[in-house]
Amino acid sequence: MTTSRVEFGDVLSMVPKEMAALLESLGVPRFRAKQLFEWLWRHGAESYEAIQVWPKDLREKMTARHPFQRLELVQQQVAHDGTTKLLLQMKDGQRVETVLLPHHYGYSVCVSSQVGCAMGCKFCASGLKGRVRQLTAGEMADQVAFGNQVLRERGAKISRIDVMGIGEPLDNYANLIRFLELVHDPESLNISYRHITVSTSGLVPAMKQLADSGLPVTLAVSLHAPTDALRLKLMPVNRAYPLAKLMPMCRYYAETTGRRVTFEYLLLNDINDGEAEARQLAELVRGFPSHVNLIPWNPVDEHPFQPSPRDHVRRFQSIVQDYGISCTIRRELGQEIDAACGQLRLREEETVSP
Ligand code: SAH
Ligand code: SF4
């Protein structure tokens, strides 16, 4: 299944059969790979030294030849409702945000896929400084593992994953697929594909690849505008992939996977939240299994918009629902912490290098 190549040193990104090949190349029996995988992902081993079932010389050899480093906590913010925002540091000093969100069924985790983002959406904090680098599959999976470690103290664990943090996951496709396999593996975090949502700004060719991959994850498409003219003002990606290309691909995704496609629609006061836009949106997404999720905008100082007032949000929702389309308003969790994705990382950077 795994198609991407992985750096031979990057054990945190390896699937079990790659670990077996690595260990075999060192003259170590294959069964040690299963132990390595389990200790990394089930027990959260911080180093090879922690793998007590391994002989000392193997631990030393791997420490010398294939060192790894887990994510380190830089900052943690916990809101009254339990929403927890983690700022985590990778081995090169770059930082990512991961958010834990409480629900009636347990917790979901919002995972980042890149440091920064290249897509340049006009309302988003993540893209303000462009894309710095891709995250490896291991760095994505470790966000989930770290989240579980934090939640263990609350007697909780992660049961759903949204790849909706910083970055455009489909602009990091190979690592995304590898990440999905890693967290899905029953010997690691054991999260069902059906409990994973991947959010995209609409990279059409990669949406096709994902549909054809056979992994039944839910796709969320950040639409935010029902016409090309308006979408272009908000999302530069619409130049390459206008609605005439995007919408048929959403339909293809739904038909190929049998999964309902979620459309995310951010409400910006007097920009995209009028009655006309609500009708245009409903027309656009009707006719195949879809769901609309209205998102109240979290203000970002650098962007000039205002969030829609409550009455606009309700009016928008009821118009869409009148078309028979399922439409919800995203709960606003963790209001008192830096809620907009990308804000915590930016703010921390500003205090570090003003
Ligand atoms: N790059 C992907 C996934 C990360 S963004 C994508 O764009 O879909 C996840 C979601 O957060 C997207 O729907 C995005 O439009 C939305 N978002 C970005 N900035 C926001 C803000 N300031 N307030 C609320 N939602 C925001
Ligand atoms: Fe990137 Fe998504 Fe933010 Fe757009 S909304 S800049 S695609 S993270």
Which ligand has the nearest atom to the CA of 221? 1
Which residues face 268 on adjacent strands?
Answer: 307
Cα–Cα dist 190/182, whole Å:
9
- Ligand 1 atom closest to residue 298's alpha carbon, by position in its atom list: 23
- Ligand 1 atom closest to residue 167's alpha carbon, by position in its atom list: 1
* Same domain for 192 and 55: no
Asked, for residue 5, whether it belongs to a domain, the answer is no
For helices 243-257 and 275-285, the axis angle rounded to 10 degrees is: 50
Asked, for residue 97, whether it belongs to a domain, the answer is yes
pLDDT (mean) for 316-340? 82
The answer, yes or no, to whether any atom of ligand 1 lies below 6 A from the CB of 171, is no
For helices 31-41 and 16-25, the axis angle rounded to 10 degrees is: 130
Quickly state the pLDDT bin for 127 (edges 50, 70, 90): confident
Asked, for residue 3, whether it belongs to a domain, the answer is no
CB atoms under 10 Å from CB of 282, counted, come to 21
* Same domain for 79 and 55: no
Chosen domain end from 65, 82, 101: 65
Predicted local confidence at residue 5, as pLDDT: 61
The closest of 247, 3, 38, 245 to 11, measured between CA atoms, is 38
Work out whether the CA dihedral 256, 262, 268, 274 comes out positive or negative. Answer: positive
* Same domain for 232 and 198: yes
Asked, for residue 165, whether it belongs to a domain, the answer is yes
Output the six-digit token pair for 348.
Answer: 């921390």
CATH number of domain containing 268: 3.20.20.70
* Same domain for 48 and 190: no
The answer, yes or no, to whether any atom of ligand 1 lies below 6 A from the CB of 124, is yes
Chosen domain end from 46, 65, 84: 65
For 266-277, the pLDDT digits (tens) are 999 999 999 999
Cα–Cα dist 83/165, whole Å:
14
* Same domain for 57 and 83: no
- Chain CA centroid to CA 55, Å: 37
* Same domain for 252 and 345: yes
Cα–Cα dist 340/165, whole Å:
9
Quickly state the pLDDT bin for 290 (edges 50, 70, 90): very high
> How do the residues of the chain divide into helix, strand and coil, expressed in percent and rounded to 5?
40, 20, 40
The answer, yes or no, to whether any atom of ligand 2 lies below 6 A from the CB of 168, is yes
pLDDT (mean) for 282-303? 92
* DSSP reduced 3-state for 138: helix
Active-site residue flag, 46: no
Asked, for residue 1, whether it belongs to a domain, the answer is no
For 192-228, the pLDDT digits (tens) are 999 999 999 999 999 999 999 999 999 999 999 999 9
Cα–Cα dist 2/174, whole Å:
9
Asked, for residue 106, whether it belongs to a domain, the answer is yes
Asked, for residue 158, whether it belongs to a domain, the answer is yes
Predicted local confidence at residue 351, as pLDDT: 39
Q: Which domain holds residue 24?
A: 11-65
CA of 38 to the centre of ligand 2 (A): 34
CA of 303 to the centre of ligand 1 (A): 14
Which ligand has the nearest atom to the CA of 197? 1
Cα–Cα dist 111/277, whole Å:
30
CA of 293 to the centre of ligand 2 (A): 16
The answer, yes or no, to whether any atom of ligand 2 lies below 6 A from the CB of 220, is no
* Same domain for 166 and 309: yes
Chosen domain end from 19, 36, 65: 65
* Same domain for 237 and 151: yes
Active-site residue flag, 264: no
113, 122, 168, 263: which to mutate for ligand 2, most atoms within 8 A of CB?
168
pLDDT above 60: residue 57:
yes
CATH number of domain containing 58: 1.10.150.530
Residues 194-208 as b/e (b if ≥16 CB within 10 A, e otherwise) read ebbbbbbbbbbebbe
* Same domain for 310 and 173: yes
* Same domain for 85 and 49: no
* DSSP reduced 3-state for 261: strand
The answer, yes or no, to whether any atom of ligand 1 lies below 6 A from the CB of 164, is yes
CA of 11 to the centre of ligand 1 (A): 30
Whether 232 and 248 have beta carbons less than 8 Å apart is answered as: no
The helix (run of H) or strand (run of E) holding residue 353 is: none
Q: Can you tell me which residue has the tokens 């309302």? A: 123
Number of domains composing the chain: 2
* DSSP reduced 3-state for 136: coil
* Same domain for 156 and 34: no
CA of 63 to the centre of ligand 1 (A): 39
Quickly state the pLDDT bin for 121 (edges 50, 70, 90): very high
- Chain CA centroid to CA 177, Å: 12
pTM: 0.94
Q: Which of 97, 168, 181, 277 is catalytic?
A: 97
- Ligand 2 atom closest to residue 171's alpha carbon, by position in its atom list: 7
* Same domain for 218 and 191: yes
Asked, for residue 6, whether it belongs to a domain, the answer is no
Q: Which of 117, 121, 250, 341 is catalytic?
A: 341
